[in-house]
Amino acid sequence: MDTVEDKDKIYLFVYGSLKRGKEYNYLLSGAKFISEAVTLEKYSMYVDSIPYVYKDKNISHICGELYEIDNKILKEIDLFEDHPNFYFRELVDVKTTTGMVVKSWIYFLHEEKGELLTSGSF
């Protein structure tokens, strides 16, 4: 499975309030929706009114959406997610519905918080 890593493109994987139809999706109004997607690695998802993904506990693949964004949007989302204080972001591999694997930014929480969602979907 080849991973797409285009140095000129920035990809963002979202799994909560930034998804289509959710209250903060407007922050991605200038972004290009690529596909629904899932992380290749397993992480753990928790919910406490909003979802959080914790990196160091491998429970399930995380379900979300993949967007192509620019640096301006990335900086705005960093502010929204309070990166690196509240959330921190890292590049991970995500797989689209067409089977394409893309290196994408995802936001992780520094700790386990809330109720575990073993499905990995919010």
Domain with 83 in it: 3-114
**% pLDDT > 90, the chain:** 93
Tell me the pLDDT band of 102, cut-offs 50, 70 and 90.
Answer: very high
Average pLDDT over residues 101-119: 96
CATH of the domain at 73: 3.10.490.10
Handedness of CA 77, 7, 97, 93 (dihedral sign): negative
Is 119 among the domain residues? no
Tell me the pLDDT band of 8, cut-offs 50, 70 and 90.
Answer: confident
pLDDT over threshold 60, residue 1: no
Pair of tokens at residue 47: 């919910």
Q: Which helix (H) or strand (E) holds 109?
A: strand 101-109
pLDDT over threshold 90, residue 2: no
- Annotation says 112 is catalytic: no
**What letter represents residue 103's amino acid?**
K
Is 120 among the domain residues? no
Is 76 among the domain residues? yes
**What letter represents residue 121's amino acid?**
S
Is 90 among the domain residues? yes
pLDDT over threshold 80, residue 6: no
Pairing relationship of beta strands 50-54 and 87-96 according to DSSP bridges: unpaired
pLDDT over threshold 90, residue 118: yes
Is 122 among the domain residues? no
Is 60 among the domain residues? yes
* Residue of 36, 41, 81, 112 marked catalytic: 81
Is 27 among the domain residues? yes
Average pLDDT over residues 76-86: 97
Number of domains in the chain: 1
Give Cα separations from 86 to 10, 21, 40 (angstroms): 22, 24, 24
Handedness of CA 114, 85, 35, 41 (dihedral sign): negative
Is 22 among the domain residues? yes
State pLDDT tens for residues 17-63: 999 999 999 999 999 999 999 999 999 999 998 999 999 999 999 99
